[in-house]
Structures are given as C-alpha cells and as structure tokens.
C-alpha cells in the first residue's frame, strides 16, 4: 500500500491509516486524507491533537447530549466498576443498577409501557424490536405478518436487520440488502417530494394513501410493523407535516400493524420534550432509545414494549421454554449506572427547559440563512436542524452529487472551527443540549463563514 510521506511516519494519522477501518467513510480516500484526531472535550468544545478547538455541532454522532466533561457520569462509571463491573440478566439473574434504570425509564415513558429490554446500541435496539415483532405475531397465531415497512432515507442502524430497515442506499449497496420482507415508503419531506402546488396537508394525505396502497398490495395480513423516526435524523433532518402521523396511525390501526418509534436521536430532550413521541403525537407499541440515554459516555440502548407486546411474548417464551434473545452485555451494570446518572442530570439541571429557551435562537438563527443564495430550505425542531443547499431555489433543483457541495461546506466549517455533518447537500446540526445562547450564536457565525466560502466555490454553476 502506497501512502504519501506524511503517512509513512509514525504520526497518529499514519498509524490510524495503517490499522483502522472507519465507518461511514470512503475507505480509499481515507488512505490519502487521513483522520482528524480529536484528543479532548469540554462542554460543547472538542480539541484535536494539534490544539485546534472546534464547536462540536453534531454532539459526536448525534449523541453527546450533555456535553463533554460531565464528572458525574465519569464517577458513576468508576464507582460501579469498583463495586461490580459486570453481571448479566440471563437465567433469572439481575442487579440493582438495571432495576433502578428500568423503573426510571418506565416512569418517564411518553406513553404507557410495560417492560424494558436493554442492549448496547440503537442498531441492536432496532434489531431486537424487529425480532420481537416477529416473535409477537408468532405468539398471536399470525406468523405470516413478517414484513416491516419504514421510510426511504430512514436510518435505523447497521446490523443486518436494522440496515434492512434503513432506507439509505449506502446501507444496502454491495451488502446484498435489504433482506426480503423489508419495504420502504416515501419519506415525509414536503420540500423535496411534494408535487407542484401541493400543500403540506395534501402531501400528508397523498403519502398516507401511498402507504395504504403498499399495505393492500402486499396484503395487510403479511405486514407486521411500521418503523419510524419521529424526525428523520440521518436522512437529512426531515420534519413530517403536522398531520402526517395522525393519518399514518389511523391506517396502521385499521390494518392491525404495530408502530415502533425509533427515538435513538430524538429521545431525552432533543426536540424540546423528553421524547420525540410527544413532540410528534405518536402512540407507539414499542420505543427504541439510545445515544442520549447515557449521553454516549458508555454504550447502552433501551427498548420499551407495551403490555400487549409483553403479555404475548411472555406466553410464547413459556411455550418455547425460553425467550431466545440475548446479548452478553445487555443491561450491563456500569452502563446502567451511567444512564441513571444521566437521567438525573436531565431532571436536576432542567435540560428540557433549557432546550426550550435556547431553541428559538438556534432555529431562528439558522432560518435567517434562507436568503443565502445556496440555501433552499432550513428545517428542524428543538436542537436538531438541517440546512439544504440547492442549485435552483425556485424549482428546488439539487446540485449534482459529483460536485460534493455539502462535503465542501463541511470541510470549510471544520477549517473555521465547527464540526457539522454533510448528508448529501444538507448540513445537519445536533449540538449538545447544554449549549448556551452565546455558543449557538458563535456556531451559526462560523457556519456562515463556511457557507460564504462554499458560495464562492460554486456560485458560477448555481441558479437563483
């Protein structure tokens, strides 16, 4: 393998290139580009190994909700490690940290829930939810209800099942996915997918009709569940029209199809409520959460199931002899202790109320960019937003993918000391929930610089 001279050294970059496969990365280009190596963090700021400071405008991967340097979380982990670093939940075993966490989660659930299943990531949580969908319908005498519907552009994880649930091309291409029985419907993005002169209400009605047509075509007796993110994060921060979920849920109820809410990104205050389920008016049978559950200080996810689901799978496990879903680290005591402490911080420091105070500055500050010649749409809820670039603002024509407009802006933002994420030509924002107003304003100021740099680069091919 030929590296340039920089990478032939024993530098951290060279060692990284020589040894690591990076997720969601062009592996070939990484051999030349190398990594930005982050060394430390405090609050909403991270610092690389050369001392350059960045505002972490994405909370890492949508996850460090309470920011960096939360000593309470560090101490919770250390104390639990000293007392009991590991125990499992199989074969009737348990421990206090996981019992405490489960009780707290059930008490704060946005809709009535019965029990909590624990895993290590949002991917595993959604994978488990899919398996429980199949288990549930087998338990209720309808094993043919195995097909699962989600949105195109959805992101539900990267196990084989959760990648099949996802509607992103890169989760499927060359992997032989999605698996049979995973279906996808139009994402509720009015700006991108509405017909000319079609208002949000008409758009929501049409998409609901498309979903019902798909259900009837496949046979409602074969459809087990519909998975949705209250707000689609990795698909470009897509906020559904106001009546979309109302219409969708009526169809699911009519056809006896379970609803699973993927709250991996939207859970724990991100949308201005503790759960996106509340913000978007959902009534799911299961809820998956992760990321903010421990502020990403340690891996953990939680899957809520309601009474209907639990009663059926409980009876089925008795018939089979055991509930055959298991992970070695499910309900890990250190993860549980950290998550419980994180939930205390959300409550004691009134994080949701803080999000509500900061949200107007964040959302209005970004929406002020709508007059910029590159910006077609600014969308978001709470401390979650996306800024989409277009070639033609009148007809919403996108730039050619080959131009890499979003990627260019993303790189320029880093050079101005801001980490955001390009999802195609949408720049997404998901800052730590502890961000203050001055930091929000600084983040937007730095993004403006990157936006202007991008306009200078591409203005000759833009139409506005």
Quickly tell me which residue has 């430390």 as its tokens: 40
Q: Specify which residues 56 forms β-bridges with.
A: 419
What DSSP character marks residue 274? S
Question: What is the Cα–Cα distance from 397 to 389, expressed in whole angstroms?
Answer: 9
Tell me, yes or no, if the two domains 36-69+351-461 and 72-348 fold the same way. no
Please check whether residue 46 is in contact with residue 419, taking contact to mean a CB–CB distance below 8 angstroms. yes
Question: What is the Cα–Cα distance from 286 to 119, expressed in whole angstroms?
Answer: 14
Domain ranges of the chain: 36-69+351-461, 72-348
Please check whether residue 221 is in contact with residue 187, taking contact to mean a CB–CB distance below 8 angstroms. no
Question: What is the Cα–Cα distance from 303 to 135, expressed in whole angstroms?
Answer: 15
Largest CA distance in the chain: 68
CATH class of 72-348: alpha beta
Please give the distance of CA 162 from its chain centroid, rounded to a whole number: 12
The topology (CATH level 3) of 36-69+351-461 is: 3.90.1150
Full pLDDT tens readout for the chain, 464 residues: 344 444 557 899 999 999 999 999 999 999 999 999 999 999 999 999 999 999 999 999 999 999 999 999 999 999 999 999 999 999 999 999 999 999 999 999 999 999 999 999 999 999 999 999 999 999 999 999 999 999 999 999 999 999 999 999 999 999 999 999 999 999 999 999 999 999 999 999 999 999 999 999 999 999 999 999 999 999 999 999 999 999 999 999 999 999 999 999 999 999 999 999 999 999 999 999 999 999 999 999 999 999 999 999 999 999 999 999 999 999 999 999 999 999 999 999 999 999 999 999 999 999 999 999 999 999 999 999 999 999 999 999 999 999 999 999 999 999 999 999 999 999 999 999 999 999 999 999 999 999 999 999 998 886 65
- What's the pTM value of the predicted model, to 2 decimals? 0.95
Question: Which run of H or E residues covers position 213?
Answer: helix 200-218
């Amino acid at each position: 393998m030929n590296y340039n001279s920089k990478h032939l050294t024993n530098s951290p970059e060279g060692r990284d290139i020589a040894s690591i496969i990076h997720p969601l990365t062009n592996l070939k280009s990484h051999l030349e580009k190398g990594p930005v190596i982050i060394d430390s963090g405090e609050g909403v700021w991270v610092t690389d190994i050369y001392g350059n400071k960045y505002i972490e405008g994405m909370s890492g991967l949508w996850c460090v909700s309470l920011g960096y340097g939360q000593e309470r979380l560090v101490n919770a982990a250390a104390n639990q490690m000293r007392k009991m670093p590991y125990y499992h939940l199989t074969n009737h075993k348990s421990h206090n940290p996981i019992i405490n966490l489960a009780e707290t989660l059930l008490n704060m659930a946005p809709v009535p829930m019965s029990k909590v299943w624990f895993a290590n990531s949002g991917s595993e949580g959604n994978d488990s939810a899919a398996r429980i969908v199949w288990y549930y319908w087998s338990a209720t005498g309808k094993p043919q209800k195995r097909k699962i519907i989600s949105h195109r552009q959805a992101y539900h994880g990267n196990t084989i099942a959760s990648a099949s649930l996802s509607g992103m091309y890169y989760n499927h291409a060359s992997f032989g996915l999605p698996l049979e029985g995973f279906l996808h419907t139009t994402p509720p993005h009015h700006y991108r997918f509405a017909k000319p002169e079609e208002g949000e209400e008409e758009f929501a009605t049409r998409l609901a009709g498309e979903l019902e047509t798909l259900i009837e075509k496949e046979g409602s007796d074969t459809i087990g569940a519909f998975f949705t993110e209250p707000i689609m994060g990795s698909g470009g921060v897509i906020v559904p029209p106001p009546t979309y979920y109302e219409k969708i849920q009526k169809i699911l109820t009519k056809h006896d199809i379970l609803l699973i809410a993927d709250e991996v990104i939207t859970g724990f205050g991100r949308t201005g409520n503790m759960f996106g389920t509340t913000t978007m008016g959902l009534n799911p049978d299961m809820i998956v959460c992760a990321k903010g559950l421990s502020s990403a200080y340690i891996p953990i996810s939680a899957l809520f199931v309601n009474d209907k689901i639990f009663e059926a799978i409980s009876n089925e496990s008795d018939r089979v002899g055991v509930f055959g879903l298991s992970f070695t680290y499910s309900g890990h005591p250190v993860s549980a202790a950290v998550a419980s402490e994180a939930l205390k911080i959300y409550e004691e420091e009134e994080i949701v109320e803080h999000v509500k105070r900061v949200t107007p500055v964040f959302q209005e500050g970004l929406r002020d960019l709508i007059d910029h010649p590159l910006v077609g749409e600014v969308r978001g809820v709470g401390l979650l937003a996306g800024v989409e670039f277009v070639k033609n603002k009148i007809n919403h024509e996108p730039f050619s993918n080959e131009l890499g407009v979003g990627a260019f802006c993303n790189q320029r933002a880093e050079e101005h000391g801001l980490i955001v994420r390009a999802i195609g030509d949408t720049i997404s924002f998901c800052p730590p929930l502890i961000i203050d107003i001055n930091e929000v304003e600084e983040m937007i100021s730095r993004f403006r610089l990157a936006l202007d740099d991008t306009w200078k680069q591409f203005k000759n091919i833009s139409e506005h």
